[in-house]
A = this chain, B = another copy of it.
Amino acid sequence: MAQKKSSGSGKEKANAKATRRVPMRDFSRSLPMSLLRAREAVMRQFRPSLRRHDLTEQQWRILRALAAIDAIEVTELAHTAFLLAPSLSRILRDLEARGLIERKTAETDLRRGLVSISDKGLRLMEVVAPSSEAIYAAITRRYGVRKLAALQDMLGALEASLAGMGQPEEAGE
């Protein structure tokens, strides 16, 4: 470290060097940061409860998605739980090892895998769901039912707005 030095009267100039260069919006108010902080504020409420049952947020998402249906293909599950295929692959391996889910291969297409929640998985959900719902209710109460609904609508609209904006892909990649 330290092959940096300001020659001559550069002390003050070096001090001002990085100040206010490359003008950009106020960083902390960018949309990605707002969304990130808001989501973190919400998840911070849930994580301790999940952690007590040795579940991560993603594992819980998968169990919830599975609890609503009988069986589902891996690709479709990835879409539902909003996970990338590689992440899902690893998590399913783990959940299966823990006996919380069951897997089999589709009979008509050996490439496709079918996933379903196990009885053990359902029992775990029955234990975790109440406190999870209670936390969600508390959040809703604090923020306001109407406001929450309005926020969800605006978030959905944002998604929809951006749906068309495909990758900029500057013609020539």
Contacts and interface: CB of A to CB of B under 8 A. Distances in A.
A138 B154 CA distance: 17
B20 A152 contact: no
Contacts of A65: 27
Contacts of A1: 102-104
Given A35-B35, A68-B27, A148-B31, A163 B41 contact: yes
Contacts of A117: 18
A109 interface: no
Contacts of A68: 19-20, 27
A154 B152 contact: no
A110 interface: no
A167 interface: yes
Interface of A: 1-2, 4, 15-25, 27-46, 48-49, 57, 61, 64-71, 80, 82, 102-104, 116-119, 122, 125-126, 129, 131-133, 135-136, 138-139, 142-143, 147-148, 150-152, 154-159, 161-163, 165, 167-169
18 contacts: A1-B102, A1-B104, A2-B104, A18-B69, A18-B71, A25-B133, A32-B39, A32-B57, A34-B156, A35-B39, A38-B155, A38-B156, A38-B159, A39-B39, A41-B163, A142-B162, A143-B161, A151-B151
